[in-house]
Structure 1
Amino acid sequence: MTISVVRVDDRVIHGQTMTRWTKARPVDGILVVGDAIAHNELRRKVLKAAANELKVGIYTTAEAPEKIAKGIESKKNFFLISDSPQTFSQLVDMGVDFGGTLNVGPMNTRPNTKILGRTVAIDQNDYAAFENIAKHGVDIQFQLLPDDDIRHWDTMKAKYDSMD
Structure 2
Amino acid sequence: MSEPNIVLTRIDNRLVHGQVGVVWTSSVGANLLLVANDETANDQLQQELMAATAETSGVGIRFWTIDKTISTIHKASPRQHIFLVIRNAQDARRLVEGGVPVKNLNLGNMHFSKGKVQVTKYTYMDDQDKADLKYCADHGVNVYVQEVPEDKKQPLEEVI
> 1:69 is matched with which residue?
74
Correspondence for 1:138: 141
Q: 1:18, CA displacement in angstroms?
A: 2.7
The runs of 5 or more residues in structure 1 that have no matched partner are 158-164
Give 1:104's match in structure 2, choosing from 90, 99, 107.
Answer: 107
1:110-129 correspondence runs (5 A):
110-129=113-132
Counterpart for residue 3 of structure 1? 6
Q: CA deviation at 1:14?
A: 0.8
Supply the AA of the counterpart residue of 1:70: K
For structure 2, which runs of at least 5 residues remain unmatched after alignment?
Answer: none
Q: Using the alignment, how far apart are the partners of 2:44 and 2:115 within structure 1? A: 28
Aligned partner of 1:84 among 88, 103, 119: 88
Partner residue in 2 for 1:152 = 155
* Superposed displacement of residue 41, structure 1: 2.2
Deviation by residue 1:112-153 (Cα, 9 ceiling, x = unmatched): 110111110112221121011112111101000011011111
Question: Paired residue for 1:51?
Answer: 54
- Structure 2 Cα separation of the partners of residues 95 and 77 of structure 1: 18
Aligned-partner SS, 1:62? helix
Question: For 1:135 and 1:13, how far apart are their aligned partners in 2?
Answer: 27
Indicate the percent of aligned positions where both proteins have the same amino acid. 26
Q: Secondary structure at the match of 2:62?
A: strand
User: What is the TM-score of this pair, normalised by structure 1?
Assistant: 0.88
User: Quick check: 2:22–2:54 contact (8 Å CA) kept in 1?
Assistant: no
SS at match of 1:80: strand
Question: What does residue 99 of structure 2 align with?
Answer: 95
Contact 2:145 2:155 in 1 (8 A): yes
Aligned partner of 2:32 among 29, 34, 49 = 29
